Structure 1
Amino acid sequence: MVNQLPELEYNIAIKLTKYTVEINNMVDWVYFVKLNLNYG
């Protein structure tokens, strides 16, 4: 049981990192689109 905990935490950390990157990319894209709509 104890040996499985680090692996579980590792998987969770990877998922959180992927979600964070995806959210950041989405925010950047929305910001880019807003700039184009405002100044295009």
Structure 2
Amino acid sequence: MPQKEDDGSPKFGRLLIVLICAVLLCAGLTWLMATVFPNFPN
């Protein structure tokens, strides 16, 4: 990823990266729980 995209709106770029990381983390945790505990919601 190029570092030059930061000078336009650094806060928005960082927020977007954090948001993507959070979504990936939540998806990974959900998949992990579904894999390790198949009957977790019950």
Q: Same fold (TM over 0.5)?
A: yes
Between Structure 1 and Structure 2, the one with more helix by share is 1
Larger Rg: 1
Across the aligned residues of Structure 1 and Structure 2, the Cα RMSD in angstroms comes to: 1.4
TM-score of the superposed pair, with normalisation by structure 2: 0.68
Count of residue correspondences:
32
- Structure 2 residue runs of 5 or longer lacking an equivalent are 1-6
Which ranges of 4 or more aligned residues in structure 1 deviate by more than 4 Å? none
Identity %: 6
